[in-house]
């Protein structure tokens, strides 16, 4: 049996690379925002914000390729079933490549549907379409990278995902600056940089896997990889995660849509403020990713005492970390606005809404950590049921709080996270601790 000290050591060893990895993700978004925020029109900033939301629908919708793969691989690892770990990678990459082909075929329908749902100015729409039709060609690389990240995390290896994320985002940032500043490509440059960086990341992921885990690939037999019972379980879990993710992305997309309805200025302000939320969420998600790896391993090993111990310790670590972030935002929150734009109108317009950013790290901890725990245990039905409830209440809140303008939007978004945290706490006894199923 592991002691609390050993569990803490595992949490730290998995969390630190995940936090470093995750911090580089919003850093990329921050660079995009800073580059577009310094161009002559706020339409460029709005276009990248809207384009990012559209791809959030697409790529977060396929987030099950990482999330389901992490939990299932961690459980196979806990059961000492090495061949199944290899088959899970091939299963997930097969689904990723197949899915990307459908995205290519239906890309025009996707973008047309997006702007039936998103009400924005013609200038922003035109620029967002340019962004979309370039970045969509990164789909195979992006979806396959989901699979590699999931397998590496399931194998209790957080260092490879950290390396991949840092390399991809560093290349992306360098190319962003080159294309936008040197070649004047603006929105098109941001999209092209992202696409190129994703393929470089996929090549690195393949090299890393074959360098250390080649022995896991004991078969290339398509019948074994896509065995009905295994594929059925993978798709069942993935279906629940897809619904969970679709609801969350829809809520964030609706937030941006309602921001655009207020004005292009509020759209730009909220695009900036969401960079704070991204920085915070990706930091705390370092603990959630550690939870996925460790909870999955202990579920696979049928080790309930350590599953419970890990849950307690990760919550403690994450809450303390959230308090530190909140205190940092109290001191530095206003100054950080200047990192994202040099337009004083946007900076002054954003300041009244920083209170929602300051409370977010502590308020949102429960939702993020339970997410990781439920994913590691592949308790996907609980996640699905929680987010459906949260989404319904969020939409009601948006409607009721509309008279309060932008404060109403941020109040509803905060409620979404609070309800997720509370409902998952209630559901944990049924889906995690009564039986590890």
Residue 366 binned pLDDT confidence (cut-offs 50, 70, 90): very high
For tokens 């996907």, name the residue: 380
The gap from C-alpha 68 to its chain's centroid, in whole angstroms, comes to 14
Would you give the DSSP letter of residue 136?
A: G
Place of tokens 């696409």: 195
Provide the residue range defining the domain that includes 379.
4-433
Which pTM was predicted?
A: 0.83
Note whether 273 and 350 are within 8 A (CB).
yes
pLDDT of residue 24: 65
Which residues, 6+ apart, have CB-to-CB distance to 26 below 8 Å? 275, 278, 279, 282
For the ranges 150-164, 263-277, 386-400, 415-429, the lowest mean pLDDT is seen at 263-277
- Among 136-145, 198-207, 268-277, 317-326, which stretch is predicted with the lowest mean pLDDT? 268-277
Q: Other CB atoms closer than 10 Å to residue 206's CB: what's the count?
A: 13
CA dist 155 and 82 (Å) reads: 10
- Number of domains the chain contains: 1
The model's confidence at residue 182, banded by pLDDT at 50, 70 and 90, is: confident
Q: What percent of the chain has pLDDT over 90?
A: 43
- pLDDT tier for residue 256 given thresholds of 50, 70 and 90: confident
pLDDT confidence bin for 347, thresholds 50/70/90: confident
312: Cα within 13 Å, side-chain hemisphere: 11
Radius of gyration for the alpha carbons in the chain, expressed in angstroms and rounded = 21
Task: Confirm if 154 and 74 have CB atoms less than 8 A apart.
Answer: yes
d(CA 179, CA 378): 42
pLDDT category at 436 given cuts 50, 70, 90 is very low
Which of 70-84, 92-106, 257-271, 292-306 is predicted least confidently? 257-271
Q: Which two three-digit tokens encode residue 371?
A: 């997410």
pLDDT of residue 397: 95
What confidence tier does 125 reach under pLDDT thresholds 50, 70, 90?
confident
How far apart CA 355 and CA 407 sit, in angstroms, is 10
pLDDT digits (tens, 9 = 90+) for 41-66: 667 777 777 777 787 778 877 888 99
Q: Which of 194-198, 278-282, 339-343, 424-428 has the lowest mean pLDDT?
A: 339-343
Identify which has the larger pLDDT, 235 or 3.
235
In the predicted structure, residue 154 carries a pLDDT above the cut 90: yes
From residue 54, alpha-carbon distances to 49, 117, 118, 135, 138 in Å are 9, 11, 10, 11, 14
Q: Report, as an integer, the average pLDDT of 372-386.
A: 93
pLDDT for 1 beyond 60: no
Rounded CA separation 267/260 (Å): 5
Model pLDDT for residues 264-282, shown as the tens digit of each residue: 888 888 888 888 887 888 7
CA–CA–CA angle 37, 261, 347 (5° rounding): 30
- What local confidence, expressed as pLDDT, does residue 18 receive? 84
Q: What is the pLDDT of residues 185-195, one digit of tens each?
A: 878 888 899 89
| Residues 338, 340, 342, 344, CA torsion sign | negative
| Confidence at residue 126, expressed as pLDDT on a 0 to 100 scale | 82
Residue 319 has pLDDT above 90, yes or no: yes
């Amino acid at each position: 049996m592991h002691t609390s000290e050993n569990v803490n050591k595992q949490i730290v060893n998995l969390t630190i690379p995940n936090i470093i990895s995750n911090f580089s993700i919003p850093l990329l978004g921050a660079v995009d925002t800073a580059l577009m925020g310094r161009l002559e029109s706020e339409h460029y900033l709005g276009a990248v914000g809207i384009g990012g939301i559209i791809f959030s629908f697409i790529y977060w919708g396929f987030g099950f390729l990482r999330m389901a793969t992490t939990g299932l691989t961690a459980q196979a690892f806990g059961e000492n079933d090495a061949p199944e770990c290899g088959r899970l990678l091939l299963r997930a990459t097969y689904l990723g490549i197949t899915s990307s082909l459908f995205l290519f075929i239906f890309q025009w329908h996707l973008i047309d549907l997006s702007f039936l749902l998103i009400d924005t100015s013609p200038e922003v729409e035109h620029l967002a379409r340019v962004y979309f039709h370039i970045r969509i060609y990164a789909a195979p690389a992006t979806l396959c990278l989901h699979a590699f990240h999931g397998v590496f995390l399931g194998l209790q290896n957080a260092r490879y995902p950290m390396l991949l994320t840092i390399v991809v985002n560093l290349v992306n940032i360098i190319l962003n600056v080159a294309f936008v500043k040197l070649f004047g490509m603006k929105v098109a440059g941001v999209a092209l940089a992202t696409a190129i960086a994703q393929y470089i990341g996929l090549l690195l992921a393949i090299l890393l896997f074959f360098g250390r885990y080649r022995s896991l690939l004991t078969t290339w037999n398509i019948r074994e990889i896509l065995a009905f019972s295994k594929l059925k379980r993978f798709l069942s879990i993935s279906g629940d995660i897809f619904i969970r993710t679709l609801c969350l992305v829809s809520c964030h997309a609706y937030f941006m849509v309602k921001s655009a309805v207020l004005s292009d200025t509020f759209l730009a302000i909220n695009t900036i403020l969401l960079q704070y939320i991204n920085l915070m969420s990706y930091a705390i998600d370092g603990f959630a990713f550690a939870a996925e790896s460790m909870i999955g391993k202990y579920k696979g090993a049928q080790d309930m005492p350590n599953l419970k111990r890990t849950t307690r310790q990760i919550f403690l670590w994450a809450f303390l970390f959230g308090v530190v972030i909140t205190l940092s935002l109290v001191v530095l929150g206003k100054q950080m606005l200047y990192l994202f734009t040099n337009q004083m109108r946007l900076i002054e317009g954003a300041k009244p809404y920083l209170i929602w950013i300051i409370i977010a790290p502590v308020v949102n901890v429960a939702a993020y950590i339970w997410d990781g725990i439920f994913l590691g245990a592949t308790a996907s039905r609980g996640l699905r049921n929680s987010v459906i409830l949260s989404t319904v209440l969020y939409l009601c809140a948006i409607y009721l709080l509309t008279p309060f303008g932008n404060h109403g939007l941020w109040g509803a978004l905060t409620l979404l996270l609070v309800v997720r945290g509370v409902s998952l706490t209630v559901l944990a006894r049924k889906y995690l601790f009564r039986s590890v199923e």
